[in-house]
Amino acid sequence: MEQGYLTLETGEVFEGFLIGADKDSLGEVVFNTSMTGYQEIITDPSYAGQIITFCYPIIGNYGVNAHDDECIFPVLAGVVIGDLCETPSHYQSIEKFSEKLNSAGVTGLAGVDTRLLVKTIRSRGTVKGYIGKSPITEFPMAESEPCWVEKVSTKNVQFFTNNGPHVVLIDYGHKKSILTALLAEHCAVTLVPYNTPLEKIKALNPDGVVLSNGPGDPMDLQNWFAEIKKITEHYPTLGICLGHQLIALSYGAKTEKLLYGHRGGNHPVKELETGKVKITAQNHSYVVVDHSIDHNVFDITYRNVNDQSIEGLKHKTYPIQTVQFHPEAHPGPSDTAYIFTDFIHQIASLGETRYAVK
């Protein structure tokens, strides 16, 4: 295999060998601590424009199957791993990890000292990186980041029939597993683009609304905050990850970027009402700023055990709840899968009575 290099904008260079697509790659270098689920991770739209470093030392050992992709077309910038397994063993495997990267047009670098790379990111903060056939001495000029949500959101309304309540899923770059979880709760789901206004949602006559996860800085969508607020004032709403941030922002809160984000399937979160700790799957760079929350409007429902950051909100008047983590957790634990069930029960308890906008 051909030798390759990851050059960080802070000057560090990491050597390995190239896999996947035959092209150079530039992106924000992040790391994920999950022990399994590499297929779901590389197909998660929330990684748009990023180079993922896998902390787990061996990747590819169970191959890639036909069922676990979270989106049709992977949008990540690249992948960095330690040991590459080219002899996968699993009855559902249809291709190797390296073949998946190649067919998806994603550049990869294997054989890297990922432990040192992750320690570097943790000390430097999330940095830009460049994967190529040789180290670079001059980093490419910084360009303005695109609005990744525009690139990954569905362009067309999609309908999924079922025999339960009707939920509109606003797509900021949704994982397929969120849709699957709603369908498993017997919801009929209408998937709509991120820029769908309230009036079009009203025409769909939903019983509730879910704001999905997605990539990038939530402030990229500030032109839609007023519309998001109106939507949440009309329908029971659940916000997940980016959806959580957007709801908080639409009610006047602020967000900030973490030093190196939360990404993995082992993040402990305390449910403040019960004191119980849930192990959660997470994938985000931004968090809601603690002191920016109006406590006359929202209760904080969950906090991260490690850094005390806000992990969930509940509106005091409207049936609005948000979580920073992923209740559908693919990959990850199922500790918080009940959040979907609770949301559907909330919809059912409201019945046909719509609460008045105040």
Residues identified as active-site: 241, 326, 328
Q: What is the 3-state secondary structure (H, E, C) of 97-157?
A: HHHHHHHHCCEEEECCCHHHHHHHHHHHCCEEEEEECCCCCCCCCCCCCCCHHHHHCCCCC
Which residues contact residue 146 at a Cβ distance below 8 angstroms, ignoring those fewer than 6 apart?
49
User: CB burial class (10 A; 0-12, 13-18, 19+) of residue 231?
Assistant: buried
**How much helix, strand and coil, in percent to the nearest 5, is found in the chain?**
25, 30, 40
Residue type for 236, please?
Answer: P
Which residues contact residue 176 at a Cβ distance below 8 angstroms, ignoring those fewer than 6 apart?
69, 70, 71
Cα 122 to Cα 259: distance, rounded to the nearest angstrom? 7
Give the angle 79-68-238 at the CA atoms, nearest 5°. 95
- Phi-psi map region of 166: left, alpha, beta (phi>0 left; psi -120 to 50 alpha): beta
How is 276-287 classified by DSSP, letter by letter?
Answer: -EEEEEEEEEEE
Cα 322 to Cα 344: distance, rounded to the nearest angstrom? 14
First CA to last CA across the chain, in angstroms?
63
